[in-house]
Amino acid sequence: MMSEIRHAPIAMTGLRPLPAGTGIDAHRHDENQIVYAGRGVLSVTTEAGIWVAPATRAIWIPAGAVHEHRAYGDTLLHLVGLPVEDNPLRLDRPAVIGVDPLLRELIVAYTERPDGRPDDLTAERLRLRAVLLDRLRRSTQQPVHVPAAEDPRLATVCGILRDDPADDRTLARLGAVVGVSDRTLSRLCRAELGMSFPQWRTQVRLHHALRLLAEDVPVTTVASRCGWASSSAFIDVFRRAFGHTPGSHRTHR
């Protein structure tokens, strides 16, 4: 992955439409960037894993982080480039952050002018950026992250579930495929993914669910394709993760 990396010194500020299924190849820039999908669903992939953000979330990408974008559904990106010294979240790695209604309007207003540069600021934009940074400091990180495994045995198991989130085999049965015990895989999950196997599988399923919902797949079908036993179980997990039901998700896009 990411064999050819483009270096974009200036992190773009402005709007960028991405048709469904398209993306932006691996690149990095010397400044921080906030990426917000005002419409559709966006995923950002790095060597450390995949971050996914619907319209109630944004993705923080620190300076120097190599990343790729992928759009699910017809997506409109709002890109906010910030000089490296402007790091209101104090983060040195990508993260998904919550976007409340006020922060959303600030991002939309700040990115209205296409192809703006972070250092091309009028007095009005300076004031707007100051309020935007203040609001960002109040944002919290959201657990919408699918971390990547390094151990080849765990990576194989993870790949099976990314390809088919509805696969409901136990860790022991999946371990048999790669010739390792469920105890070893469980330990690797904690060490490399920072979470338990059931927690990681839930993140994969939520990620896949967001992609399908962006493509207007019915909720009952999404629940089945992502491995939930019932639509009600899916709705409950989705509401706890995103603060609204999958049925109302389209109104947040």
Write the DSSP string, 153-178.
HHHHHHHHHHH-TT----HHHHHHHH
User: Could you read off the pLDDT of 99-156 as tens digits, one per residue?
Assistant: 889 999 999 999 986 444 545 567 888 888 899 999 998 888 766 778 889 999 999 9
User: Could you read off the pLDDT of 174-226 as tens digits, one per residue?
Assistant: 999 999 999 999 999 999 999 999 999 999 999 899 888 888 899 999 999 99
d(CA 196, CA 191) in angstroms, rounded, equals 9
d(CA 99, CA 96) in angstroms, rounded, equals 9
Q: How confident is the model at residue 19 (pLDDT cuts 50, 70, 90)?
A: confident
Q: How confident is the model at residue 94 (pLDDT cuts 50, 70, 90)?
A: confident
Q: How confident is the model at residue 161 (pLDDT cuts 50, 70, 90)?
A: very high
CATH code of 6-137, in short, is: 2.60.120.10
Q: What's the average model confidence in pLDDT over 42-64? A: 86
Task: Give me the helix-helix angle, 123-137 and 101-110, nearest 10°.
Answer: 150
Looking at residue 240, what is its pLDDT?
A: 87
Domain boundaries, the chain: 6-137, 148-252
d(CA 54, CA 98) in angstroms, rounded, equals 10
Q: Is residue 77's pLDDT more than 50?
A: yes
Looking at residue 52, what is its pLDDT?
A: 83
Share of the chain above pLDDT 90, in %: 44
- Report angle CA 120, 54, 148 to the nearest 5 degrees: 95
Looking at residue 250, what is its pLDDT?
A: 53
Instruction: Report strand pairing: 67-82 vs 145-147.
Output: unpaired
d(CA 209, CA 90) in angstroms, rounded, equals 30
Looking at residue 120, what is its pLDDT?
A: 59
Q: Quick one: which of 135, 49, 146, 61 has its CA closest to 98? A: 135
Q: What's the average model confidence in pLDDT over 233-252? A: 79
Q: Quick one: which of 76, 73, 70 has its CA closest to 17? A: 76
Q: How confident is the model at residue 162 (pLDDT cuts 50, 70, 90)?
A: very high
Q: Which CATH superfamily is domain 148-252 in?
A: Homeodomain-like (1.10.10.60)
User: Could you read off the pLDDT of 21-44 as tens digits, one per residue?
Assistant: 888 889 999 999 999 988 888 888
Are 49 and 147 in contact by the 8 Å Cβ rule? The answer is yes
Q: Do 148-252 and 6-137 have the same topology in CATH?
A: no
Instruction: Tell me the pTM.
Output: 0.75
